[in-house]
Chains A and B, each alone.
Chain A
Amino acid sequence: MKADPHGVLTGTHFLDGDHACCEGALAAGARFAAGYPITPSTEVVERFAARVPTVGGTFIQMEDELAASIALQGGVWGGAKAFTVTSGPGFSLMMEHIGYAAMTETPCVFVDVQRGGPSTGLPTLPAQADMMQARWGSHGDYEIIALCPNSPQECFDLTIKAFNFAEEYRVPVMFMMDEVVGHMTEKVVIPPADEIEVTPRKHTHKSVEDYLPYATNGDEMAHAGEGYKFHVTGLTHDERGYPNMTPPVQDKLVRRLQNKIRSAADRICLFEEERLHDADVVVVSYGITSRVAQRAIDAARNRGLRVGKLRLITAWPFPEKKIADLAAHVKAFVVPELNLGQMVREVERAANGKAKTFAVSHAGGGVHNPDEILNAIVEASRC
Chain B
Amino acid sequence: MLNILDDTANPVEPFLRSDRMPHIWCPGCGIGTTVNSFARALIDSKIDLESLALVSGIGCTGRVAGYVKLDSFHTTHGRAIPFATGLKLANPKLNVVVYSGDGDLSAIGGNHLIHAARRNIDLKVICVNNLIYAMTGGQTAPTTPGHATTSTNPYGTFEPAFNLPHLVEAAGAVYVARWTTFHVRQLARSISEAFQKKGFSFIEVISPCPTLYQRRNKMGDGLDTMKYYKEKSKIKNGAPTSEVGLTLNGEIVVGKFVDRDRPDYQTMMRAQYVEILGERYIEESEMECVCG
Contact = CB atoms under 8 A, between A and B. Distances in A.
B66 A242 contact: yes
B86 A54 contact: no
Interface stretch (B87-95, B154-162, B195-203, B244-252): B87-95
Contact of B76 (A58, A70, A226): A70
Q: Which 5 A/B pairs are nearest by Cβ-Cβ distance?
A: A74-B86, A200-B292, A78-B90, A78-B91, A71-B86
Contacts, number: 176
A68 B111 CA distance: 13
B93 A225 contact: yes
Contacts of A328: none
A201 B91 contact: no
Interface stretch (A119-127, A231-239, A272-280, A285-293): A231-239
Interface stretch (A10-18, A27-35, A170-178): A27-35
A226 B82 contact: no
Given A80-B287, A203-B291, A62 B82 contact: yes
A67 B207 CA distance: 28
A75 B282 contact: no
Contacts of A203: 291
Contacts of B280: 53-54
Interface residues of B, number: 50
Interface string B55-95: 10000000001100111111110110011111111110110
A234 B282 contact: no
Given A74-B86, A80-B287, A97-B76, A63 B115 contact: yes
B245 to A, nearest CB: 25
A82 B86 CA distance: 10
A232 B72 contact: yes
B98 to A, nearest CB: 11
A186 interface: no
A219 to B, nearest CB: 12
Contact of A243 (B50, B66, B70, B282): B66
5 contacts: A54-B277, A56-B283, A78-B91, A96-B79, A242-B19
Contact of A80 (B51, B74, B90, B277): B90
B112 A4 contact: no
Interface in A43-61: 53-58, 60
B291 A56 contact: no
Interface string B261-290: 000000001000100010011111011111
Contacts of B86: 32, 34, 60, 70-76, 78, 82
B53 interface: yes
A340 interface: no
Contacts of A72: 86
